[in-house]
Amino acid sequence: MKNESLPSLFWLGDSISVHYYPYLARYLEGVACLEVRSGYREAVENINHPRGSNCGDSSMVLAFLESLLAHPDFEPTWIVFNCGLHDIKTDPATGQRQVDTVDYVSNLGKIISLIRSHQKTPVWITTTPVDDARHHEHCPEVSRFQRDVDTYNALARDIMVEQGVPIFGLHDFTARLEGELYMDHVHYTDQVRQIQAAYLTGQMERLLQN
């Protein structure tokens, strides 16, 4: 049963968020009421493809929020979101990214405006690191590069700072972790997911206390 006395959050992102979400939900118990897009099982059945609670790239996040926010009974006060790993997917043959930088910036601006137009507060999470060599070894059909992660994160940070949107630095936090981090080309081990969820819980708690 939803506790009306607690802050209400809606959390959406890519497969990284799908993986850490169960731990995040546990850690936020008694702190906030947490909701995510439905379809968790659908998402984890094929974690590489955006479906269910895996929201995909920035264009998909924008389209989903346009539909979701049109419902008057959608009540969360905070919308915590990320998109980037799908945006930087690159065709090895053409070098074309799934969402180029111009459209990425435009989509993020539209997302922020849309959220605020419905009297809700946006929060941004930075996109997690990519190990270029490991990604190519495990997923040669689609390229991702850390240089693009850095570029897209920098573009997003500029927008968020200009717009006064809180930023949770999951990229830098994850990059500082030691040991074996990845279970495949881009997804993290269960231990890392737990640590990421703990970090994000702490960030959210501090934000709610301000």
Extract the tokens encoding 67: 């539909």
Is residue 143 very low, low, confident or very high in pLDDT (cuts 50, 70, 90)?
very high
Mean pLDDT for 36-64 is: 93
For residue 70, the model assigns a pLDDT of 94
Instruction: Indicate the SS3 state at residue 10.
Output: strand
Average pLDDT, the chain: 96
For residue 182, the model assigns a pLDDT of 96
For residue 40, the model assigns a pLDDT of 87
Contacts 24+ apart (CB under 8 A), 47-52: 47/15, 47/18, 47/19, 47/187, 48/15, 48/139, 50/14, 50/15, 50/86, 52/18
Extract the tokens encoding 63: 């389209």
Mean pLDDT for 149-177 is: 98
The pLDDT tens digits of the residues spanning 68-120 come to: 999 989 989 999 999 999 999 999 999 999 999 999 999 999 999 999 999 99
Contact yes or no for 155/105 (Cβ under 8 A): yes
Q: What CATH number should be reported for the domain whose range is 8-209?
A: 3.40.50.1110
b/e map of 117-132 (b: 16 or more CB within 10 Å)? eeebbbbbbbbbbbee
For residue 1, the model assigns a pLDDT of 47
Mean pLDDT for 174-183 is: 96
Q: How far apart are CA 71 and CA 85, in angstroms?
A: 28
The pLDDT tens digits of the residues spanning 79-88 come to: 999 999 999 9
For residue 210, the model assigns a pLDDT of 84
List the chain domain ranges. 8-209
pLDDT reading at 183 higher than 70:
yes
Q: How far apart are CA 176 and CA 192, in angstroms?
A: 11
Query: Which is nearest to 125 in space by CA: 177, 171, 190?
Result: 171
For residue 2, the model assigns a pLDDT of 61
Q: Which amino acid is at 68?
A: L
The pLDDT tens digits of the residues spanning 25-46 come to: 999 999 999 999 999 889 899 8
